[in-house]
Structure 1
Amino acid sequence: MTGVPQRRTTRRVLLVLGAVSFLIAGVVSFYASSNPDGLEHVAATTGFGDTARPHATSDGPLAGYSVKGVHNDRLSGGLAGVIGVTATLVIAGGVTLLVRRRSGADASAADAERS
Protein backbone atom coordinates (compact mmCIF):
# COMPACT_ATOMS: atom_id res chain seq x y z
CA MET A 1 0.00 0.00 0.00
CA THR A 2 1.40 3.35 -0.98
CA GLY A 3 0.40 6.85 -0.10
CA VAL A 4 -1.22 7.95 3.15
CA PRO A 5 -0.39 6.05 6.36
CA GLN A 6 -3.26 4.11 7.95
CA ARG A 7 -3.45 6.39 11.03
CA ARG A 8 -3.89 9.53 8.94
CA THR A 9 -6.58 7.86 6.78
CA THR A 10 -8.51 6.72 9.86
CA ARG A 11 -8.31 10.19 11.37
CA ARG A 12 -9.59 11.75 8.14
CA VAL A 13 -12.52 9.32 7.95
CA LEU A 14 -13.43 10.00 11.60
CA LEU A 15 -13.28 13.77 11.03
CA VAL A 16 -15.53 13.53 7.97
CA LEU A 17 -18.01 11.29 9.82
CA GLY A 18 -17.99 13.71 12.76
CA ALA A 19 -18.62 16.69 10.48
CA VAL A 20 -21.50 14.88 8.76
CA SER A 21 -22.97 13.95 12.16
CA PHE A 22 -22.87 17.56 13.32
CA LEU A 23 -24.37 18.75 10.04
CA ILE A 24 -27.25 16.28 10.29
CA ALA A 25 -27.83 17.04 13.98
CA GLY A 26 -27.55 20.79 13.65
CA VAL A 27 -29.23 21.49 10.33
CA VAL A 28 -31.02 18.53 8.78
CA SER A 29 -32.79 17.56 12.04
CA PHE A 30 -34.94 20.68 11.75
CA TYR A 31 -36.59 19.17 8.69
CA ALA A 32 -37.57 15.93 10.45
CA SER A 33 -41.23 15.00 10.53
CA SER A 34 -43.34 16.66 13.21
CA ASN A 35 -45.74 13.70 13.19
CA PRO A 36 -45.75 11.50 16.30
CA ASP A 37 -43.10 8.78 16.40
CA GLY A 38 -44.04 5.09 16.26
CA LEU A 39 -44.67 4.63 19.97
CA GLU A 40 -46.81 7.77 20.24
CA HIS A 41 -48.78 6.72 17.15
CA VAL A 42 -49.47 3.23 18.54
CA ALA A 43 -50.48 4.72 21.91
CA ALA A 44 -52.92 7.09 20.21
CA THR A 45 -54.27 4.37 17.90
CA THR A 46 -54.85 1.83 20.67
CA GLY A 47 -56.38 4.36 23.02
CA PHE A 48 -53.88 4.70 25.85
CA GLY A 49 -52.08 7.81 24.61
CA ASP A 50 -53.97 10.03 27.02
CA THR A 51 -52.64 8.11 30.04
CA ALA A 52 -49.10 9.43 29.52
CA ARG A 53 -47.59 11.46 32.38
CA PRO A 54 -44.59 13.77 32.32
CA HIS A 55 -41.32 12.00 33.11
CA ALA A 56 -38.69 13.10 35.60
CA THR A 57 -36.63 15.01 33.03
CA SER A 58 -39.51 16.73 31.21
CA ASP A 59 -38.29 20.07 32.58
CA GLY A 60 -34.66 19.33 31.73
CA PRO A 61 -32.47 21.61 29.62
CA LEU A 62 -32.85 19.42 26.50
CA ALA A 63 -36.43 18.20 26.94
CA GLY A 64 -38.51 17.98 23.79
CA TYR A 65 -35.52 17.97 21.41
CA SER A 66 -34.89 21.65 22.14
CA VAL A 67 -32.67 23.78 24.34
CA LYS A 68 -34.45 25.44 27.23
CA GLY A 69 -34.28 29.22 27.04
CA VAL A 70 -33.64 29.40 23.27
CA HIS A 71 -36.84 30.68 21.69
CA ASN A 72 -35.94 30.23 18.02
CA ASP A 73 -37.23 26.72 17.14
CA ARG A 74 -34.67 26.11 14.41
CA LEU A 75 -31.72 27.22 16.55
CA SER A 76 -33.02 25.42 19.64
CA GLY A 77 -33.47 22.10 17.83
CA GLY A 78 -30.11 22.41 16.08
CA LEU A 79 -28.31 23.16 19.33
CA ALA A 80 -29.99 20.21 21.03
CA GLY A 81 -28.82 17.96 18.19
CA VAL A 82 -25.26 19.25 18.34
CA ILE A 83 -25.18 18.89 22.15
CA GLY A 84 -26.49 15.33 21.80
CA VAL A 85 -23.88 14.39 19.19
CA THR A 86 -21.13 15.97 21.29
CA ALA A 87 -22.21 14.08 24.41
CA THR A 88 -22.40 10.82 22.47
CA LEU A 89 -18.94 11.31 20.96
CA VAL A 90 -17.41 12.22 24.33
CA ILE A 91 -18.92 9.15 26.00
CA ALA A 92 -17.96 6.84 23.11
CA GLY A 93 -14.44 8.28 23.06
CA GLY A 94 -14.09 7.81 26.81
CA VAL A 95 -15.24 4.20 26.63
CA THR A 96 -12.88 3.58 23.71
CA LEU A 97 -9.93 4.99 25.65
CA LEU A 98 -10.80 2.90 28.71
CA VAL A 99 -11.10 -0.29 26.66
CA ARG A 100 -7.89 0.48 24.77
CA ARG A 101 -5.96 1.10 28.00
CA ARG A 102 -7.37 -2.01 29.64
CA SER A 103 -6.60 -4.23 26.66
CA GLY A 104 -3.12 -2.67 26.43
CA ALA A 105 -2.51 -3.31 30.13
CA ASP A 106 -3.76 -6.89 29.78
CA ALA A 107 -1.45 -7.46 26.81
CA SER A 108 1.52 -6.01 28.74
CA ALA A 109 0.75 -8.25 31.72
CA ALA A 110 0.49 -11.29 29.44
CA ASP A 111 3.81 -10.42 27.78
CA ALA A 112 5.44 -10.03 31.21
CA GLU A 113 4.16 -13.46 32.29
CA ARG A 114 5.56 -15.10 29.16
CA SER A 115 9.02 -13.61 29.76
Structure 2
Amino acid sequence: MNSLFEDLCKGLQEAIDFEKGVGSAKRTTYVISPIKEFNPEQIRQIRNNAGMTQTVFANYMGVSKKTVEAWECGRTHPTGPAFRLLDILNERKETNLSFVEVL
Protein backbone atom coordinates (compact mmCIF):
# COMPACT_ATOMS: atom_id res chain seq x y z
CA MET A 1 0.00 0.00 0.00
CA ASN A 2 1.33 3.46 -0.89
CA SER A 3 1.85 6.04 1.74
CA LEU A 4 0.04 9.37 1.68
CA PHE A 5 3.34 11.07 0.90
CA GLU A 6 3.93 8.82 -2.11
CA ASP A 7 0.38 9.46 -3.36
CA LEU A 8 0.87 13.22 -3.03
CA CYS A 9 4.23 13.07 -4.83
CA LYS A 10 2.72 11.05 -7.67
CA GLY A 11 -0.20 13.47 -8.01
CA LEU A 12 2.10 16.46 -7.99
CA GLN A 13 4.30 14.91 -10.65
CA GLU A 14 1.23 14.18 -12.81
CA ALA A 15 0.15 17.82 -12.45
CA ILE A 16 3.63 19.07 -13.42
CA ASP A 17 3.70 16.74 -16.43
CA PHE A 18 0.26 17.91 -17.53
CA GLU A 19 1.34 21.56 -17.34
CA LYS A 20 4.34 20.70 -19.51
CA GLY A 21 2.00 19.13 -22.07
CA VAL A 22 2.97 15.56 -21.21
CA GLY A 23 0.18 13.14 -20.38
CA SER A 24 -3.41 13.89 -19.53
CA ALA A 25 -5.18 14.97 -16.40
CA LYS A 26 -8.33 13.59 -14.86
CA ARG A 27 -10.97 16.21 -14.26
CA THR A 28 -14.05 15.88 -12.13
CA THR A 29 -16.75 18.55 -12.15
CA TYR A 30 -19.31 18.76 -9.38
CA VAL A 31 -22.47 20.76 -9.87
CA ILE A 32 -24.12 21.85 -6.65
CA SER A 33 -27.65 23.04 -7.20
CA PRO A 34 -28.94 26.04 -5.26
CA ILE A 35 -30.77 25.34 -2.03
CA LYS A 36 -34.51 25.19 -2.58
CA GLU A 37 -36.58 26.80 0.13
CA PHE A 38 -39.97 25.44 1.10
CA ASN A 39 -42.88 27.28 2.71
CA PRO A 40 -44.78 25.85 5.71
CA GLU A 41 -47.48 24.21 3.58
CA GLN A 42 -44.89 22.58 1.32
CA ILE A 43 -43.01 21.23 4.35
CA ARG A 44 -46.24 19.70 5.69
CA GLN A 45 -47.02 18.24 2.25
CA ILE A 46 -43.54 16.72 1.94
CA ARG A 47 -43.92 15.12 5.38
CA ASN A 48 -47.39 13.81 4.55
CA ASN A 49 -46.25 12.46 1.16
CA ALA A 50 -43.49 10.57 2.95
CA GLY A 51 -46.12 9.11 5.30
CA MET A 52 -44.39 10.40 8.41
CA THR A 53 -45.81 11.68 11.64
CA GLN A 54 -44.28 14.87 13.00
CA THR A 55 -42.32 12.78 15.50
CA VAL A 56 -40.84 10.47 12.86
CA PHE A 57 -40.16 13.42 10.57
CA ALA A 58 -38.39 15.24 13.40
CA ASN A 59 -36.18 12.21 14.03
CA TYR A 60 -35.40 11.93 10.31
CA MET A 61 -34.50 15.63 10.13
CA GLY A 62 -32.51 15.57 13.38
CA VAL A 63 -34.66 18.16 15.10
CA SER A 64 -37.32 18.20 17.80
CA LYS A 65 -41.03 17.72 17.17
CA LYS A 66 -41.55 21.32 18.36
CA THR A 67 -39.21 22.48 15.60
CA VAL A 68 -41.26 20.63 12.97
CA GLU A 69 -44.44 22.17 14.40
CA ALA A 70 -42.82 25.63 14.18
CA TRP A 71 -41.77 25.03 10.57
CA GLU A 72 -45.26 23.91 9.58
CA CYS A 73 -46.86 26.92 11.31
CA GLY A 74 -44.38 29.37 9.81
CA ARG A 75 -42.96 30.54 13.17
CA THR A 76 -39.43 29.44 12.19
CA HIS A 77 -37.74 28.24 9.04
CA PRO A 78 -35.36 25.35 8.31
CA THR A 79 -31.67 26.01 7.68
CA GLY A 80 -29.61 24.97 4.64
CA PRO A 81 -28.97 21.33 5.63
CA ALA A 82 -32.63 20.82 6.53
CA PHE A 83 -33.70 22.30 3.18
CA ARG A 84 -31.39 19.78 1.45
CA LEU A 85 -33.09 16.89 3.28
CA LEU A 86 -36.51 18.34 2.44
CA ASP A 87 -35.50 18.54 -1.22
CA ILE A 88 -34.36 14.90 -1.17
CA LEU A 89 -37.70 13.81 0.29
CA ASN A 90 -39.57 16.02 -2.16
CA GLU A 91 -37.74 14.51 -5.14
CA ARG A 92 -38.68 11.03 -3.94
CA LYS A 93 -42.37 11.86 -3.70
CA GLU A 94 -43.22 9.17 -6.23
CA THR A 95 -41.35 6.54 -4.21
CA ASN A 96 -43.09 4.62 -1.46
CA LEU A 97 -41.00 5.22 1.62
CA SER A 98 -41.24 2.99 4.67
CA PHE A 99 -40.36 4.26 8.12
CA VAL A 100 -40.55 2.47 11.41
CA GLU A 101 -41.06 4.66 14.44
CA VAL A 102 -38.71 3.60 17.21
CA LEU A 103 -39.56 4.87 20.66
- Which TM-score tier does this pair reach, normalised by the shorter chain? under 0.3
Higher helix share: 1
What TM-score, normalized by structure 1, do the two folds share? 0.24
Q: Normalising by structure 2, report the TM-score.
A: 0.26
